[in-house]
C-alpha cells in the first residue's frame, strides 16, 4: 500500500473526474490525503464584498478582511468535498492541525508552508479515514493549496503527489509536456514561460520532486 497526496483545485473539487479518481485510488488500497483549494469561490466572495482580487506570481494577496472570506470559502469547499467523497472523509484545517509557514510580508497574511506530518493526519490514516485538508497555516495564514500539498507530501513521506486540475497537464506553446525535469521547469518559470495558477503548482511539484516525492500535474511527470 502506498501513501499518496492528491491536490484538487476549487474549480474541480466537485467535478466527477476528480471525485472518481480519489474513489478509485482509495478502492485500490492507497492511503490518501486530499488537499483542496477554493480559488474561484474566494474570488467570488471577495468581489461580493468589494475587496480587490490580486495575485502575485500566482499567489493571492490576502488582507485581514480577505482572510475571513478565505476561511469561509475553504469551509464550504471542505464540507462539500467530504460529503461527495466518502463517509470515510474527515475535514481538517491546516492552522488547527499545526501546519507551519513563514509569512510572505508582501502578500499580506500569506505563508510559505514548511514540510509537516501532522499527528491528526497520521491518526486519520491509521483509522482508515481520508483526511481532507484545507490550506491554512498557523497564524492563521493563507497558504497556496499546491504548496500546502507539497509540504504535507514531504512531511508525511508520501510516495507520490498528484495535482488534479482542469487542464490535461503542463502545456508549453499549446503542447502537452509528458516529462519535465526540475531544472528545465526552473528555467521555464524564470523565463516567464508560464503565468497564473500553473506557476505555484509547478513550483510546488518541483519542490516535492527535489525532496524525494515524485510529482504529477495531470499527465505531466515532474522529476528531480
Residue 130 lies in a domain: yes
Cβ contact 6:34 at 8 Å? yes
Expressed as residue numbers, the domain containing 128 is 3-165+214-219
Q: Can you give the pTM of this predicted structure?
A: 0.94
Q: What is the pLDDT of residues 176-218, one digit of tens each?
A: 999 999 999 999 999 988 888 888 899 999 999 999 999 999 9
Residue 146 lies in a domain: yes
Residue 141 lies in a domain: yes
Q: Helices (DSSP H) in the chain: which residue ranges? A: 16-27, 39-48, 64-85, 94-97, 119-126, 145-155, 182-190, 198-210
Q: Which value, to the nearest 10 degrees, does the dihedral of the CA atoms of residues 126, 128, 130, 136 take?
A: -20
CA dist., res. 64 & res. 61, Å (int): 10
Residue 23, pLDDT score: 87
Residue 191 lies in a domain: no
CA dist., res. 76 & res. 102, Å (int): 26
Residue 20, pLDDT score: 86
Which CATH number fits the domain that encloses residue 160? 3.40.1160.10
Q: What is the pLDDT of residues 106-149, one digit of tens each?
A: 999 999 999 999 999 999 999 999 999 999 999 999 999 999 99
Residue 88, pLDDT score: 92
Residue 128 lies in a domain: yes
To which residue does cell 478582511 refer?
65
pLDDT exceeds cutoff 90 at 221: yes
First-to-last CA distance in the chain?
Answer: 23
Looking at residues 88-103, what average pLDDT do you find?
96
Give Cα separations from 186 to 30, 35, 181, 189, 215 (angstroms).
31, 24, 9, 5, 15
Q: What is the pLDDT of residues 8-37, one digit of tens each?
A: 987 766 677 788 888 899 889 999 999 999
Residue 91 lies in a domain: yes
Residue 161 lies in a domain: yes
Q: How many domains does the chain have?
A: 1
Residue 190 lies in a domain: no
The DSSP letter of residue 109 is S
Amino acid at each position: 500500500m502506498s501513501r499518496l497526496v492528491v491536490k484538487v483545485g476549487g474549480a474541480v473539487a466537485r467535478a466527477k473526474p476528480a471525485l472518481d479518481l480519489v474513489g478509485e485510488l482509495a478502492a485500490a488500497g492507497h492511503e490518501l490525503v486530499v488537499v483542496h483549494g477554493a480559488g474561484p469561490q474566494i474570488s467570488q466572495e471577495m468581489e461580493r464584498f468589494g475587496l480587490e482580487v490580486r495575485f502575485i506570481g500566482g499567489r493571492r494577496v490576502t488582507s485581514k478582511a480577505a482572510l475571513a472570506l478565505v476561511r469561509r470559502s475553504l469551509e464550504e469547499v471542505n464540507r462539500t468535498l467530504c460529503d461527495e467523497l466518502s463517509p470515510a472523509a474527515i475535514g481538517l484545517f491546516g492552522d488547527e492541525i499545526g501546519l507551519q509557514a513563514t509569512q510572505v510580508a508582501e502578500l499580506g497574511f500569506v505563508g510559505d508552508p514548511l514540510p509537516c506530518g501532522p499527528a491528526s493526519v497520521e491518526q486519520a490514516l491509521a483509522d482508515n479515514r481520508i483526511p481532507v485538508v484545507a490550506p491554512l497555516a498557523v497564524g492563521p495564514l493563507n497558504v497556496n493549496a499546491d504548496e500546502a500539498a507539497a509540504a504535507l507530501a514531504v512531511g508525511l513521506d508520501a510516495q507520490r503527489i498528484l495535482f488534479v486540475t482542469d487542464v490535461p497537464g503542463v502545456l508549453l506553446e499549446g503542447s502537452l509536456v509528458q516529462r519535465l525535469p526540475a531544472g528545465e521547469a526552473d528555467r521555464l518559470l524564470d523565463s516567464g514561460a508560464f503565468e497564473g495558477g500553473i506557476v505555484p503548482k509547478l513550483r510546488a511539484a518541483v519542490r516535492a520532486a527535489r525532496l524525494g516525492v515524485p510529482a504529477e500535474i495531470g499527465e505531466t511527470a515532474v522529476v528531480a
